[in-house]
């Protein structure tokens, strides 16, 4: 499938890869491409570069995605047809978690009790993987609302970026009813002798270690939070079902350095281990262009002896730089061919996006990347 078709047809795209390969700008360029095709696109980003965030108009905090003004895009040379729109949102785990509490709590009183707890305020530090869980939750919630034709998730910049796929299930296991019955027993339910003894032992240990007030607050918090468990488990299953469906696509982003191929293969394997499929690879910041490159010597030969001496002398001085660039082009084309070979057996493609700068930080640059995405075969 062409990358253009992926952008035009899928409902979810997950961009993954090692840190520093440009996933954020690639995600934004994919979303911009979808908007240019007349789709309502949302990019969920983890931590965009400051200037890119400013260019897109993404506030550092916010409870809702922000629509990028079409007149701003038009002023920057990006035409978006009727029906197309580009939204962006910086993922804020606290905002997402507040939404989970508000939607899933059985009553406003339960929601208020959770929000007022000191443990809830520090939940980001207490539960490992909260950011990954909230990324999955936000993705699923937006997709279920059907407000957007395409949602693109920019995953965290680490080898553990795909933990968000399994985070809902791991968090659900943590909130397992058996676990909660030990830490926060329901006084209205009967308990077996073993669980009752375990619960008493845990309560005593907590009280002695942290004091009676903390132990009581922990039990109160877990008792209230545990009421969200069933719906959180349903969403956890929903996330996995969505990402395993043909509505979703995983794209591995790589950069042209020595570790690029091994990192790309690692992420492809990690995706496969999770029972999912990689749609293809993007070699970002690359010189692997299909355009012919004319050497200074060739231009000098075409100009002949009638060209001014200063021009011919300048072309001679450019030749060493051109040699370095030719070597870089050859290296990047070889890497692109290896990525294509890696995905050949499963029909995955590989696309090279051009090197524009170390950091892409404005809308015109995103438009150039989008041009490549929409034109790619």
Q: What are the mean pLDDT values of the chain's consecutive 10-residue runs (377 residues total)?
A: 90 89 90 97 79 72 85 90 92 79 84 77 56 79 92 78 62 56 55 52 52 62 67 79 92 85 86 85 87 69 75 76 84 89 75 82 90 83
Q: Let me know if residue 307 belongs to a domain.
A: no
Q: Let me know if residue 155 belongs to a domain.
A: yes
pLDDT in the model for residue 130 = 64
Q: Let me know if residue 181 belongs to a domain.
A: no
Global pTM value = 0.80
Instruction: Report the CATH number that the domain containing residue 39 is assigned in CATH.
Output: 3.40.50.300
Q: Let me know if residue 33 belongs to a domain.
A: yes
Number of domains within the chain? 1
Q: Let me know if residue 298 belongs to a domain.
A: no
Q: Let me know if residue 209 belongs to a domain.
A: no
Q: Let me know if residue 284 belongs to a domain.
A: yes
User: CA-CA distance, 260 to 286, in Å (whole number)?
Assistant: 12
pLDDT in the model for residue 282 = 94
The torsion angles phi and psi of 235, rounded to 5 degrees, stand at -65, -35
Nearest to 21 by CA among 260, 364, 249, 251: 260
Q: Let me know if residue 260 belongs to a domain.
A: yes
pLDDT in the model for residue 227 = 67
pLDDT in the model for residue 112 = 85
Q: Which domain holds residue 12?
A: 3-108+129-164+236-290+332-375
pLDDT in the model for residue 221 = 66
pLDDT in the model for residue 164 = 64
The torsion angles phi and psi of 281, rounded to 5 degrees, stand at -120, 150
**Chain position carrying tokens 């730089």:** 321
pLDDT in the model for residue 371 = 94
| Token pair of 35 as six digits | 């908007």
- Report the alpha-carbon angle 190-228-231, nearest 5: 110
């Amino acid at each position: 499938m062409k990358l253009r078709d992926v952008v035009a047809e899928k409902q979810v795209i997950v961009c993954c890869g090692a840190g520093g390969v440009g996933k954020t700008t690639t995600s934004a360029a994919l979303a911009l491409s979808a908007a240019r095709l007349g789709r309502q696109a949302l990019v969920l980003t983890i931590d965009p570069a400051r200037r890119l965030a400013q260019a897109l108009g993404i506030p550092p905090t916010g409870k809702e995605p922000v629509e990028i003004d079409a007149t701003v895009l038009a002023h920057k040379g990006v035409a978006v047809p009727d029906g197309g729109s580009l939204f962006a949102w910086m993922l804020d785990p606290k905002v997402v978690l507040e939404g989970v509490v508000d939607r899933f709590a059985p009553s406003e009183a339960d929601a208020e009790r959770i929000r007022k707890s000191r443990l809830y305020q520090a939940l980001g530090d207490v539960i490992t993987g909260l950011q990954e869980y909230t990324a999955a939750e936000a993705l699923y919630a937006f997709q279920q609302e059907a407000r957007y034709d395409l949602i693109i998730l920019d995953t965290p910049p680490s080898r553990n970026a795909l933990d968000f796929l399994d985070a809902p299930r791991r968090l659900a296991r943590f909130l397992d009813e058996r676990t909660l019955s030990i830490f926060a027993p329901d006084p209205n339910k009967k308990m077996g002798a073993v669980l009752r003894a375990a619960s008493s032992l845990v309560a005593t240990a907590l009280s002695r270690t942290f004091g009676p007030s903390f132990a009581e607050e922990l039990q109160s918090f877990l008792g209230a939070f545990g009421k969200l468990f069933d719906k959180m488990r349903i969403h956890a299953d929903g996330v996995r079902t969505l990402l395993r469906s043909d509505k979703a696509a995983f794209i591995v982003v790589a950069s042209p350095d020595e570790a690029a191929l091994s990192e790309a293969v690692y992420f492809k394997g990690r995706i496969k281990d999770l029972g999912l499929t990689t749609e293809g690879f993007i070699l970002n910041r690359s010189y692997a262009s299909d355009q012919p490159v004319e050497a200074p010597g060739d231009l000098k030969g075409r100009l002949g002896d009638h060209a001014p001496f200063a021009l011919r002398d300048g072309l001679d001085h450019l030749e060493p730089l051109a040699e370095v660039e030719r070597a870089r082009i050859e290296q990047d084309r070889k890497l692109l061919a290896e990525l294509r070979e890696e995905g050949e057996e499963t029909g995955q493609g590989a696309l090279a996006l051009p090197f524009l700068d170390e950091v892409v930080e404005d809308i015109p640059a995103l438009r150039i990347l989008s041009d490549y995405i929409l034109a790619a075969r």
